[in-house]
Amino acid sequence: SQDKNGERWLTLAPQSAYEAPEKKLPVMLIFQEVGISNPFSTLIALSCYYEYCDLVAQGQLICIFFALETPDDNDLFMDILEDAAQRLPIDQRRVYLTGHSHNGHFAAEFMRRHHQKVAAVATLGNAHGLLAPGYSDEVLKVTDEMVELMSSFDMPLININAITENAFINYNIDSQGYHNAVESWQRRLKAFNCPMKTYEEISATRKSAELATRIIGLR
């Protein structure tokens, strides 16, 4: 672990990073708390992202763990990346981000702020759509300006969301919650320059002949 401006961050790097530093490796910036306030934070971080630890051991990438509780504070992650790149063979063309739940939102905001230096992002345990400030209960609100910003650049993103967090199947189709879910999905489509779907096309998935489509509520 290392320290930056009084905040702890954790790096996992394969042996090859030291034995063959001429080979550049991708880096995964993992938004996960590893601060000193919780003595178990490192164990929790490694447990939550154990599969990434395996990839590091195989020499496939470098992982850096860090997260604070506001988007402005998380900008420190860029300085941490620069520090790490001075010691490790990081390929700065392959900087990837991930985070779960609220840290997924922080990862997405970090991507918006630093999209010129980010290759791709994976948000875990988030909503299918980009909830508008008027009905979002998240600390970080995705404004229309953020949606417009994202539509101005090309960013690969994978969003992994469980059924229990799926507003499309957890709300009655005539409810305001369902209408909000549809609008939020349309906002995500707009943000990523995807073909737009109408309310009728989205709601028709409830009667789809395909089981997976009915369960997910989207096609």
pLDDT by 10s per residue, the chain, length 219 = 888 999 999 999 999 999 999 999 999 999 999 998 899 999 999 999 999 999 999 999 999 999 999 999 999 999 999 999 999 999 999 999 999 999 999 999 999 999 999 999 999 988 899 999 999 998 899 999 999 999 999 999 999 987 877 888 888 999 999 999 999 999 999 999 999 999 999 999 989 999 989 888 888
Asked whether the beta carbons of 66 and 73 are under 8 A apart, the reply is no
Asked whether the beta carbons of 152 and 115 are under 8 A apart, the reply is no
Backbone angles phi, psi at 168, to 5 degrees: -70, -30
The CA–CA distances, whole Å, from 12 to 16, 65, 120, 150 equal 12, 8, 20, 30
Residues 6+ apart with CB under 8 A from 7: 35, 66, 68, 76
Q: What is the pLDDT of residue 168?
A: 87
Provide the angle, in degrees to the nearest 10, between the axes of the packed helices 50-57 and 41-48.
80
Q: What is the pLDDT of residue 70?
A: 95
Q: What is the pLDDT of residue 76?
A: 97
Element at 215 (helix H, strand E): helix 211-216
Q: What is the pLDDT of residue 125?
A: 87
Element at 44 (helix H, strand E): helix 41-48
Q: What pTM does this model have? A: 0.93
Q: Please give the DSSP secondary-structure letter assigned to residue 130.
A: -
How many Cβ atoms from other residues are within 10 Å of residue 187's Cβ? 19
111: nearest Cα among 103, 100, 102, 120: 120
Two tokens at 9?
Answer: 């961050």
CA angle 77, 78, 83 (to 5 degrees): 95
| Rounded-to-integer distance, Cα 89 and Cα 61, Å | 10
| Rounded-to-integer distance, Cα 92 and Cα 81, Å | 9
